[in-house]
């Protein structure tokens, strides 16, 4: 397989870790990265160590400003914010457009931006297609309704030569794929239960994008109301839960992704979990349980567990880059369109 040149949209927690993990992924070369303040491009490969060192520091936030201009919550260093702290980067007001302008040199793009507008990620895909991009787009979105928006654009993506893998992080992503494998013992699926645990001792201050998007899953909130919350209001929500927030029956894309793969009906999938913002240890073991009926009439449950010592960053970024590699193989053989993580296996 030839080397894969890829770009990262967003250099918050997910984007930074993706760049770091790529050093241990064969055949991957990061050549571009951006956030809402700047863009770094080097067709020979970014100096990831310099970029990460330059942008290390407290995560900055604008209290919910639109991500349209490239926006994951970003790192701040000295007088410069985000990517522009790196000697490889330049400030820009149009970071996504600047990455799109380099599309002929890019085989794949990891969209590591919070989907705090329902149609943001589908719109980004549309912009790449309109520019004539032929390659791979991968995201780590969480919301079920976004999958339909991508499906609505599938014909355009196919005509443009784009292979899009949606929901390719941990959940949806790694755990969706695990559920699809666990389901193979059965001829009929009764229930899929996904229960995750994440420990982030660094707290809200260093994980603003993740926490804000998760809060949108609480009963009294949605994407719009969570996006409008100030940092102080989110801190109050975190404090009200004593820094440990439990989520039940979340609107998570695992349901529609398993349905589109023919595994089960979306209504048979439930997703929940616990986020601990005061400890790095996971508050609960991440588990997938698939209950079904076998061809000989027996009812059983296949269970998949993630080791408690694997971090959220490892479980999101390893699979995301693995799915990216698998999608590039598909794309290079002329296989275009929209895929979910249950429809292909990631490449190591």
Task: Output the CA–CA distances (angstroms, integers) from residue 12 to 17, 59, 179, in the order listed.
Answer: 8, 8, 29
DSSP strand E in 44-122: where?
59-60, 74-77, 80-81, 89-91, 108-111
Q: CB–CB of 161/333 below 8 Å?
A: no
DSSP strand E in the chain: where?
4-9, 28-34, 38-41, 59-60, 74-77, 80-81, 89-91, 108-111, 136-139, 163-165, 188-199, 244-247, 269-276, 287-293, 299-305, 337-339
Token readout for 18 is 């993706």
- CA-based torsion, 130, 73, 10, 18: positive or negative: negative
Active-site amino acid positions: 142, 213, 217
């Amino acid at each position: 397989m030839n080397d894969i040149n890829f770009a990262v949209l967003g250099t918050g927690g997910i984007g930074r870790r993706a760049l770091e993990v790529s050093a241990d992924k064969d055949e991957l070369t990061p050549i571009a990265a951006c956030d809402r303040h700047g863009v770094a491009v080097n067709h020979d490969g970014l100096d990831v160590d310099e970029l990460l060192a330059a942008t290390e520091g407290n995560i900055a936030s604008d209290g919910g400003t639109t991500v349209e201009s490239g926006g994951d919550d970003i790192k701040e260093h000295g007088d410069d914010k985000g990517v522009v702290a790196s000697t490889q980067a330049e400030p820009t007001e149009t970071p996504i457009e600047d990455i799109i302008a380099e599309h002929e040199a890019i085989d794949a793009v990891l969209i590591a931006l919070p989907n705090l507008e329902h149609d943001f990620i589908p719109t980004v895909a549309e912009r790449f297609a309109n520019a004539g991009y032929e390659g791979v787009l991968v995201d780590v979105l969480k919301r079920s309704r976004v999958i339909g928006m991508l499906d609505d654009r599938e014909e355009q993506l196919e005509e443009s030569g784009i292979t899009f893998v949606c929901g390719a992080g941990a959940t949806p992503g790694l755990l969706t794929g695990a559920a699809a494998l666990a389901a193979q013992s059965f001829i009929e699926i009764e229930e899929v239960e996904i229960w995750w645990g994440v420990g982030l001792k660094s707290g809200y201050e260093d994980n603003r994008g993740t926490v804000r998007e998760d809060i949108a899953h609480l009963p009294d909130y949605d994407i719009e109301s969570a996006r409008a919350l100030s940092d102080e209001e989110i801190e109050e929500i975190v404090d009200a839960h004593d820094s440990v927030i439990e989520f039940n029956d979340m609107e998570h894309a695992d349901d529609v992704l398993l349905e589109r793969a023919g595994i089960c009906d979306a209504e048979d999938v439930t997703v929940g979990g616990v986020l601990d913002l005061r400890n790095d240890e996971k508050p609960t073991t991440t588990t997938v349980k698939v209950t079904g009926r076998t061809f000989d009439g027996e009812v059983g449950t296949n269970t998949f567990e993630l080791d408690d010592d694997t971090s959220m960053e490892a479980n999101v970024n390893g699979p995301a880059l693995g799915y990216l590699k698998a999608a590039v193989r598909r794309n290079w053989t002329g296989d275009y369109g929209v895929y979910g993580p249950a429809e292909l296996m990631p490449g190591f």
